[in-house]
Structure 1
Amino acid sequence: MRLTDEQQFIQKQVRTFATEEIEPIAVEYEHDGTYPWDVVGEAAEMDLLAPGFPETVGGAGMDLVTDLIVNEELHRADPGIGETVTSITFGCESILEYGTEEQIERYVEPATAGEKVSAVAMTEPEAGSDFANIQTTAERDGDEYVLNGDKVFISNGSVADFIVVYARTGSPDEPHKGISAFIVDADVDGFEATPMDGYLGPSTTDLGQLFLSDVRVPVEARLGEEGQGFYQAMEFLDEGRLSVAVSAVGAARGALDLLEEYIDERQAFGAPISDNQAVRHRVANLRARLAAARALVYDTAKAVESDEPVDTERAAMAKLVATTLFEDVASEAVQLHGGYGCFDEYRVETFFRFSKIPQIYEGTNEIMREVIGDATFD
């Protein structure tokens, strides 16, 4: 993909930041399980927490393609820290699109400045990909709503200052029409958040479980009209899947960089491992697939950005191809490092653990195949 001069400049700036501020601390932070607050602060100073948001709310005003370039470079440096930095403003897209000026000022602007962390609570113990069948309820009581239910697998769940919570306000008989979105402050009575320990992914990220027990929020905490939450969430589906896809592309590039560097320096039987034709061909295959996946992601992003009609399966294809490739790259990186690939000092094991995660969120890859299959045969 050919970048504009401005995009090349931004890419270089972000790569320098990632190389100098993220890569040197990645192993230490991952080993200690430290949430990278310092990096978040530095990223905020560079307007990297919400690059696609308007400058009026603290964003950088970047277009979608440039936004994805930032995401790619951060994940290339380290998937855990990259994921944390790019997720600080999760949920703020909906507030920006459907919220009031007061909501934007109270929540979005502090998040883009790195002063608050946001989260989105959609997934439940019995409703993951089947979002329309969530069981969390929000019952109207005068000028308030009373929320009850549990949420799981919530990125930033236990560190977020506020959460966009999706709950059922209508009849289960009309699941798509009965969901509304609410902004819930983490310090409100009846709200509890706990980390989900034993997570496969990078330890620098946060994954939480939320419990809402008679949580009262004012009517003013609702986003947009009652019953429109499902449709609001679907509004950002393509961009969300492209974000996941490009994070996989970036992390695949990072793992491949580490692999290429290692096999070119590591000696076996009196010569660099990279002199082995079988190894060279394995790397060549990965490089070719990575170039194809990256092209698909950015070509789809350009189509979405231009407001031209985009086939429903395009973003699903991008996510499926990119995340599947990432797992293959990360697996080969561990394999060709030999025993060293199993230790965090060589970093590829972090990429390997993370490689399963993008295949699951924003719609599992099984759902992506269903989306593509429906577009093909229906």
Structure 2
Amino acid sequence: MADEALVEMVRSFVAAEVRPVAEELDETERFPAEIYERMGGLGLLGVTVPEADGGSGGTTLDYVEVMEELSYGYSSVADQCGLVELVGSLLSAFGTPEQKEAHLHGLLAGTRRCAYALTEPGAGSDLGGLATTAWRDGADWVLRGEKVYIHNAPVADFALVLAVTDPERRKRGGMSMFLVDADAPGVRRAYKEKKMGQRASPVGGFVFDDVRLPGSALLGAEGEGFGAVLRVLEKGRLGIGALANGISRAALDTAREHARTRHQFGRPLADNQAVAFSLADMATDHEGARLYRDARSPRSTRAPARSSA
């Protein structure tokens, strides 16, 4: 699919399915499962996952464009797209056929909910400080630890968990990834955050109390988890940047429309020079952020956001 067609398809979807319910979702904190199933049907989950694994086989720029357009409608929806992109990419790259059948296909269809369990009370940006551990017990693994600030923890069907498997080596070959059933014995959903924004994107914690995992729960080779996680986090940062850019474009459009239609002292607010200057600054900042994205690519599918106030 040409990227222009992709952008127009996502814009149409957002206008019809996301923007009309965004306010209700943010107010009620409802998880919009029906929206994600429709996104799965349109190929908007797992944008860069290869077609052979059920993804769309798109480029990273395609993913960035999808994230920005979804976020323009409601950032919680884009947040879910970004989460599936990261977990789906790891499952595609490292999963066995059995793991893909159990988790990846439903994830990309929007019918299975994942969590990406990295952050801990004492380790967030510094993943080398993880305290969650897993050790072998015969053919099984035993997982113990706590994760906090985890997207989808309150609603997930499964979590991809990063744990220390060799305390001596840690991030230099001593961390591994595990696929953990969120309802398995010993797994506890610890809490749900009360958020100020993106309220339909639930965040919470997990406690793993000596959770027994089969050997097949290991994703990828033992000790390769840290490098794998960093690899997809690079793409994740691009997605978050695009999410922020979608929010800024929506804010600019909303502010500009209000300035044009709201009248004070017999004229639109936009006729006030101070207001017009503020809108111009917003438009400049947004366009600058968009150009950062396009600087590495000859493609540009959108006209610059400009203020005529």
Please confirm whether the aligned pair reaches a TM-score higher than 0.5, indicating the same fold.
yes
Matches within 5 A, 1:140-219: 140-172=136-168, 174-219=170-215
2:260 is the alignment partner of 1:264 = yes
CA shift at 1:39, angstroms?
Answer: 1.1
For structure 2, the 5+ residue unaligned runs are: 299-309
Q: Which residue of 2 aligns with 1:367?
A: none
Please give the per-residue CA displacement for 1:4-26, whole angstroms capped at 9, x wherever unaligned.
Answer: x8111111111011011111111
- Indicate which of 52, 55, 68 corresponds to 1:59: 55
Please give the per-residue CA displacement for 1:283-335, whole angstroms capped at 9, x wherever unaligned.
Answer: 111211211111213435x49xxxxxxxxxxxxxxxxxxxxxxxxxxxxxxxx
CA distance in 2, matches of 1:286, 1:40: 31
- Indicate which of 231, 236, 248 corresponds to 1:235: 231
- Indicate which of 277, 281, 302 corresponds to 2:273: 277
CA shift at 1:47, angstroms?
Answer: 1.2
CA distance in 2, matches of 1:144, 1:235: 27
Give the TM-score taking structure 2 as reference length.
Answer: 0.91
2:99 is the alignment partner of 1:98 = no
Q: Check conservation: 1:79, 1:251, Cα contact below 8 A.
A: yes
Please give the per-residue CA displacement for 1:225-256, whole angstroms capped at 9, x wherever unaligned.
Answer: 21111111111232111111111111111111
Amino acid paired to 2:72: R
CA distance in 2, matches of 1:40, 1:85: 8
2:217 is the alignment partner of 1:221 = yes
Specify whether residues 197 and 234 from structure 1 end up closer, same or farther in structure 2 by C-alpha distance, changes over 3 A only: closer
Q: Which residue of 2 aligns with 1:136?
A: 132
CA distance in 2, matches of 1:100, 1:173: 25
2:14 is the alignment partner of 1:22 = no
CA distance in 1, matches of 2:158, 2:256: 42
CA distance in 2, matches of 1:99, 1:118: 15
Q: Check conservation: 2:175, 2:223, Cα contact below 8 A.
A: yes
Amino acid paired to 2:47: P
Q: Check conservation: 1:274, 1:280, Cα contact below 8 A.
A: yes
For structure 1, the 5+ residue unaligned runs are: 304-378
CA distance in 1, matches of 2:290, 2:198: 23
Q: Check conservation: 1:88, 1:156, Cα contact below 8 A.
A: no
CA distance in 2, matches of 1:280, 1:159: 44
Q: Check conservation: 1:89, 1:118, Cα contact below 8 A.
A: no
Q: Which residue of 2 aligns with 1:77?
A: 73
CA distance in 2, matches of 1:248, 1:269: 35
Please give the per-residue CA displacement for 1:81-139, whole angstroms capped at 9, x wherever unaligned.
Answer: 33234434542211111121221222111100112011111100010111011000101
Q: Secondary structure at the match of 1:127?
A: coil
- Indicate which of 34, 42, 48 corresponds to 1:38: 34
CA distance in 2, matches of 1:93, 1:175: 20
Q: Which residue of 2 aligns with 1:376?
A: none
CA distance in 2, matches of 1:96, 1:88: 11
Q: Secondary structure at the match of 1:274?
A: helix
Amino acid paired to 2:104: V
Q: Check conservation: 2:82, 2:236, Cα contact below 8 A.
A: no
Aligned residues: 298
Specify whether residues 230 and 208 from structure 1 end up closer, same or farther in structure 2 by C-alpha distance, changes over 3 A only: same
| Identity in percent | 33
Amino acid paired to 1:199: K
Q: Check conservation: 1:26, 1:81, Cα contact below 8 A.
A: no
CA distance in 2, matches of 1:32, 1:171: 43
Q: Check conservation: 1:169, 1:179, Cα contact below 8 A.
A: yes
- Indicate which of 282, 286, 290 corresponds to 1:290: 286
Q: Check conservation: 2:26, 2:197, Cα contact below 8 A.
A: no
Give the TM-score taking structure 1 as reference length.
Answer: 0.75
CA distance in 2, matches of 1:6, 1:174: 43
Q: Check conservation: 2:168, 2:174, Cα contact below 8 A.
A: yes
Q: Secondary structure at the match of 2:112?
A: coil
CA shift at 1:282, angstroms?
Answer: 1.3
Amino acid paired to 1:169: T
The Cα RMSD (Å) is 1.7
